A and B are shown apart, each in its own frame.
Chain A
Amino acid sequence: MASSQVVKALIVDDNAMIRRIHMTMLFRFGFEITEVEDGKKAIDQFLDGNEYDLVLMDKEMPNMDGVEATRTLRGMGISTKIVAITTDSNSMGAFLDAGADEFILKPLNFPALADILKGFNFLN
């Protein structure tokens, strides 16, 4: 886990509305949130030395899509929990092969997110 007690999450999605919704859901758990709008910016966050406990990763994004970003992060040795969140049900295999820990279809609802976070032991 990142060094502080607070869970740090990175939201990666090119849709500002969806970032806002996911951010509000994670705020309810008291997480510290950073948001970026594509896979390349997500990689840059880690290259800049930032640490995260959780990444919520969309698939279709400009510059670098979520599958490629996931693969790149794992190639960099990043072991952060990555949850793929997308409307593309056909991308599950690609995401899991790339190293995602969980895959869930949009729209994300609060109970489903809570279940995933409990599974990662992020909730007390």
Chain B
Amino acid sequence: MASAPFKAQLTDLLNSMFAMDFLDEQFKELQMLEEASGPGFLTEVVTLFCGDAERIISQLDALLNEPAVDFGKVDANVHQLKGSSSSVGAKRVALVCIKFRNVCQENDKEGCIAALHEIRHEFDELRKKFQTMLQLEQQIQDLDSK
């Protein structure tokens, strides 16, 4: 079957994402939901997550660039990102959110900036892998439907 090499690549990619803690058990829950509900569910969820995360990270950047940082708003945004990332199984992003909230609650601006930098790095790495995953899924779908 023409899609076999792409399926193998996808399996390897996902295995490495789990092994390196980019993803956790919650993502497996979503994979099982897709099996039951049909293709497109994971694509939609991952796309919504990436859009959400990008928006929140931009807001955090703006908030931390204010002369007087509103740590309450920063915390609320990080809380949102933690909720989204844990719901999609984005383990490393969720873990950095926990660190971020700790420094935020101490009103530590430098700590917050460092945590934001780390979140940006983790999210960028995850987003690249999600993009590869979605491209492989699309190729598999296209080949299997022929």
Tell me the A residues contacting B by CB distance below 8 Å. 15-18, 20-21, 24-25, 27-28, 60, 87-88, 106-110
Q: In terms of DSSP, what is the predominant structure of the interface of chain B?
A: helix
19 examples of A-B residue contacts, CB within 8 angstroms: A15-B52, A15-B80, A15-B83, A16-B48, A16-B52, A17-B45, A17-B48, A17-B49, A20-B41, A20-B45, A21-B45, A24-B41, A28-B36, A60-B80, A87-B79, A107-B26, A107-B29, A107-B86, A107-B87
- A104-B5 Cα distance, complex, nearest whole Å: 41
Q: Report whether A21 and B52 are in contact in the complex, using a CB–CB cutoff of 8 Å.
A: no
- A21-B86 Cα distance, complex, nearest whole Å: 12
Total number of B residues with any Cβ neighbor in A under 8 Å: 23
B145 at interface by CB-CB < 8 Å = no
Q: Report whether A87 and B49 are in contact in the complex, using a CB–CB cutoff of 8 Å.
A: no
A15 partner residues in chain B, CB cutoff 8 A:
52, 80, 83-84, 87
**Nearest chain B CB to A117 CB, angstrom units:** 16
Q: Report whether A17 and B84 are in contact in the complex, using a CB–CB cutoff of 8 Å.
A: yes
Q: Report whether A17 and B33 are in contact in the complex, using a CB–CB cutoff of 8 Å.
A: no
**Nearest chain B CB to A71 CB, angstrom units:** 21
B89 partner residues in chain A, CB cutoff 8 A:
107
